């Protein structure tokens, strides 16, 4: 399958790679990182007449090192925006293991997942932060041809950072969206008897997803770093 290559500017590398020194501490207690599955599945097979086990899909596995890179990128971005040293904090199970997202239904695995109240009760920080990242396929266009259905999707990404102070009052809530990431094409064919539908698509690979995050993080810093008079 053809990858959607995303080019990072020198400015992006410098901005995201910079370090932030701050005395205050921030705990990132929840990262919701969701991706439209149609952007991630390069092969989808549907058995239209079945009620159970009615289909399956194939998509690349997100490497552990990229999952770590996603967390570190988000920590650096939050640190820069609220002037605090931000680190992910986790709810733990009875065995003392961190509870993280499982990677189901388009969600990225390995992210912290907790409530603000529980995080405040179990972690002493100056600030508590929730981060939402959404990658969607906007501007879809589908054409039905004799040999099947073809569509084009334009990926877009949004980043929202919401921060609360040590008593739970929200003091920061900003969002940035980017949408210039090219086009992904797909083709869908259904068997002559209508029982099976196969969809083959160009997709976002894990490396593409990470680079989209870096670009939206850089844009977030640029958009929301103006000093208010």
pLDDT of residue 10: 36
Residue 162 placed within a domain: yes
- Can you give the CATH number for the domain in which 209 is found? 3.40.50
pLDDT of residue 156: 95
What's the pTM value of the predicted model, to 2 decimals?
0.81
Residue 160 placed within a domain: yes
Domain coverage including residue 181: 10-40+73-141+155-185+204-224
Residue 149 placed within a domain: no
Residue 163 placed within a domain: yes
170 contacts 163 by C-beta, under 8 angstroms: yes
| Long-range contacts of residues 44-52, Cβ cutoff 8 Å, at least 24 apart | 44/198, 44/199, 44/201, 45/196, 45/197, 45/198, 45/199, 46/196, 46/197, 46/198, 46/199, 47/195, 47/196, 48/190, 48/194, 48/195, 48/196, 48/197, 49/195
How would you write the pLDDT of the chain (229 residues) with one tens digit per residue? 444 444 444 344 444 444 444 479 999 999 999 999 889 888 888 887 777 666 767 788 899 999 999 999 999 999 999 999 999 999 999 999 999 999 888 899 999 999 999 999 999 999 999 999 999 987 556 666 566 678 888 999 999 999 999 999 999 999 999 998 888 888 888 887 878 888 888 889 999 999 999 999 999 999 998 644 3
Residue 190 placed within a domain: no
Residue 165 placed within a domain: yes
Q: How many structural domains are present in the chain?
A: 1
Residue 23 placed within a domain: yes
């Amino acid at each position: 399958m053809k990858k959607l290559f995303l080019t990072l500017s020198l400015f992006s590398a410098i901005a995201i790679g910079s370090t932030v020194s701050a005395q205050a501490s921030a705990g990132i207690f929840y990262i919701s990182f969701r991706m439209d599955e149609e952007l991630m599945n390069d092969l989808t097979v549907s058995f239209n007449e079945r009620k159970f086990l009615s289909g399956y899909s194939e998509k690349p596995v997100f490497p552990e090192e990229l999952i770590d890179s996603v967390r570190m990128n988000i920590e650096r971005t939050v640190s820069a925006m609220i002037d605090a040293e931000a680190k992910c904090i986790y709810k733990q199970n009875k065995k003392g293991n961190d509870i993280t997202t499982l990677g189901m239904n388009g969600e990225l695995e390995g992210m912290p997942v907790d409530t603000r109240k529980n995080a405040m009760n179990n972690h002493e920080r100056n600030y508590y932060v929730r981060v939402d990242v959404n990658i969607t396929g906007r501007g879809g266009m589908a054409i039905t041809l004799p040999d099947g259905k073809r569509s084009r999707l334009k990926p877009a990404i949004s980043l929202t950072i919401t921060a609360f102070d040590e008593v739970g009052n929200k003091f920061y809530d900003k969002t940035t969206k980017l949408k210039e990431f090219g086009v992904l094409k797909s083709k869908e064919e259904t068997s002559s008897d209508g029982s099976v539908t196969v969809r083959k698509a160009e997709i976002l690979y894990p490396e593409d997803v990470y680079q989209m995050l870096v670009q939206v993080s850089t844009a977030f810093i640029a958009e929301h770093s103006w000093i208010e008079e």
